[in-house]
Chain A
Amino acid sequence: MSSISTVSLDNLVIPMAEIKEMWDQMTDNQRQRYDVYRRTALNKGSVKKLAYHILNQQISSTLTFVLAGFSKVFVGEIVERAVQLKVERGEAEEGPLKPEHLREAYRLYKKETQTGSSSGFTKRLF
Chain B
Amino acid sequence: MESQIEVTNKQFPRHKLFSRELAMLMYGFGDEMPPLPESVDVLEDILIDYINDICIQAAKVSSKPSKISVDDFKFVLRKDPKKLARIVELLAMNKEIEIARTLF
Residues in A lying within 8 Å of B, measured CB to CB: 9-10, 12, 14, 33-34, 36-38, 40-43, 46-47, 49-51, 53-55, 57, 59, 62-63, 65-67, 69-80, 82-83, 95-103, 106, 113, 115, 119, 123-126
Contact = CB atoms under 8 A, between A and B. Distances in A.
Size range of the chain B interface in the assembly: 35 or more
7 closest A-B pairs by beta carbon, nearest first, are: A37-B28, A53-B12, A79-B29, A9-B92, A96-B32, A99-B42, A70-B83
Interface of B: 2-3, 5-6, 8, 11-13, 17-18, 20-22, 24-36, 38-39, 41-43, 46-52, 54-57, 59-60, 66-70, 73, 77, 79-80, 82-83, 86-96
21 contacts: A12-B88, A14-B89, A33-B27, A54-B12, A54-B55, A55-B59, A57-B66, A67-B73, A70-B86, A71-B50, A71-B51, A75-B29, A78-B43, A96-B31, A96-B32, A96-B36, A96-B39, A97-B35, A99-B36, A99-B42, A113-B79
